[in-house]
């Protein structure tokens, strides 16, 4: 028994020695990494080189999840960025803290941090050094979406010229997706919106709340954006999943200037004198369930309903069908022919 007890004591002693040595090494490494991060904040190239030579973890992060490369980008110091990359810094590593309870993320690759900081030259440098424009933040938001909302239009151009499909959907924030046009309208970036519209993005595309870009422009009351969208033939009656249109953000107490403008468009472009076209009276909503007076619609068409009324009514009804708000069988005898609704 004595021999066994002695062996156990020796084994435990070795474990303690090894653990102590390992802890010392880790503490030293942590200190070197801390020195590296501090040197990057101070833009001290000599101390950065000394920390790297002493074995600092070039991809290590502080309590905020921020890396040496992040601090170099924040300092807008290309020389330090290049030095860190030459020492194997991960250019696509996410930096920051991901808070799953929040609807915004502050954990993203340094390329996105550079975009957020409006550092056009740094964005260009990172892309040239191999930063992946399709690596997003911890919620899946891409750099291109972030670039669509920043002030510097040239930053957006850097990404747009590499993107083959400007029409697809993106994650814009946690739980919310849409097109680049939705991002741009939400940010109020007229120059980017004009670029997208010139490249024929779909003005009728919907976000995850079934809202069109014009609906968003009306919601945030951006008159300049609304006029640009209408100039590119955005459908002024496009409804969301609740049956609301760009005319909806209006009350008796407050006159939304976009809605006032859209009423003028109705009169000038569509010769409609009422607040909503006459056919809307044949579509009723109760508890999110829509009913269509098919016979009334047919009579309205037969009695001379304007062709633009018919087209707009058809688009709205088809949208309600696509969203599951109306049954296909309700429309088979109406002006919406079977081939239009599958």
CATH number at residue 41: 1.25.40.20
Q: Residue 295: what pLDDT?
A: 60
Whether 50 is in a domain gets the answer yes
Global pTM value: 0.68
Whether 58 is in a domain gets the answer yes
Q: Residue 153: what pLDDT?
A: 92
Residue 43's CB: how many other CB atoms inside 10 A? 15
Whether 221 is in a domain gets the answer no
Q: Residue 13: what pLDDT?
A: 57
Q: Domain residues for 52? A: 33-71+82-90
Q: Residue 198: what pLDDT?
A: 94
Residue 234's CB: how many other CB atoms inside 10 A? 21
Q: Residue 250: what pLDDT?
A: 61
Whether 293 is in a domain gets the answer no
The span from the CA of 312 to the CA of 271, in Å, is 14
Q: In 117-199, which ranges are continuous DSSP H helix?
A: 120-128, 143-147, 153-160, 180-187, 190-198
Whether 52 is in a domain gets the answer yes
64, 136, 51, 56: which is closest to 96 by C-alpha?
64
Q: Residue 252: what pLDDT?
A: 46
Q: Residue 301: what pLDDT?
A: 53
* 109-to-129, 172, 180, 333, 341 alpha-carbon distances in Å: 14, 16, 20, 55, 44
Residue ranges for the chain with pLDDT beneath 50: 15-29, 102-104, 252-253, 274-275, 279, 282, 286-289, 304-308, 331-342
The span from the CA of 121 to the CA of 175, in Å, is 32
Whether 59 is in a domain gets the answer yes
Q: Residue 287: what pLDDT?
A: 46
Give 285's contacts (C-beta < 8 A, 6+ positions apart): 243
Torsion of CA 276, 279, 283, 284, to 10 degrees: 50
* pLDDT tens figures, 239-268: 887 778 888 776 544 678 998 898 888 888
Whether 63 is in a domain gets the answer yes
Q: Residue 18: what pLDDT?
A: 47
Whether 117 is in a domain gets the answer no
How many structural domains does the chain have? Answer: 1
Q: In 148-242, which ranges are continuous DSSP H helix?
A: 153-160, 180-187, 190-198, 213-219, 223-231
């Amino acid at each position: 028994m004595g021999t066994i007890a002695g062996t156990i004591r020796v084994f435990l002693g070795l474990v303690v020695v090894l653990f102590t040595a390992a802890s010392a090494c880790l503490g030293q490494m942590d200190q070197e990494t801390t020195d590296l991060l501090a040197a990057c904040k101070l833009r001290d190239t000599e101390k950065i080189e000394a920390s790297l030579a002493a074995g600092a973890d070039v991809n290590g992060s502080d309590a905020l999840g921020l890396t040496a490369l992040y601090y170099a980008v924040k300092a807008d110091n290309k020389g330090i960025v290049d030095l860190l990359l030459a020492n194997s810094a991960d250019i696509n590593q996410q930096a920051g803290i991901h808070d799953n309870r929040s609807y915004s993320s502050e954990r993203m690759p340094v390329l996105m941090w550079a975009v957020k900081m409006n550092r056009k030259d740094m964005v260009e440098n990172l892309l040239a050094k191999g930063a992946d424009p399709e690596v997003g933040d911890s919620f899946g938001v891409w750099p291109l979406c972030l670039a669509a909302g920043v002030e510097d239009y040239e930053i957006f151009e850097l990404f747009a010229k590499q993107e083959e499909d400007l029409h697809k959907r993106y994650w814009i924030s946690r739980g919310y997706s849409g097109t680049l046009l939705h991002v741009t309208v939400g940010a109020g970036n007229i120059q980017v919106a004009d670029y997208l519209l010139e490249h024929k993005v779909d003005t009728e595309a919907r976000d995850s709340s079934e809202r069109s870009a014009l609906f968003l422009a009306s919601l945030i009351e951006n008159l300049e954006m609304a006029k640009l969208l209408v100039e590119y033939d955005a459908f002024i009656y496009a409804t969301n999943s609740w049956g609301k249109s760009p005319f909806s953000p209006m009350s008796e107490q407050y006159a939304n200037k976009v809605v006032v403008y859209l009423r003028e468009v109705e009169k000038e472009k569509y010769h409609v004198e009422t607040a909503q076209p006459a056919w809307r009276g044949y579509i009723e909503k109760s508890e999110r369930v829509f009913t269509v007076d098919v016979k009334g619609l047919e009579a309205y068409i037969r009695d001379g309903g304007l062709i633009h009324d018919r087209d707009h009514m058809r688009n709205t009804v088809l949208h309600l069908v696509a969203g599951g708000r109306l049954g296909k069988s309700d429309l088979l005898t109406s002006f919406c022919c079977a081939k239009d609704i599958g």
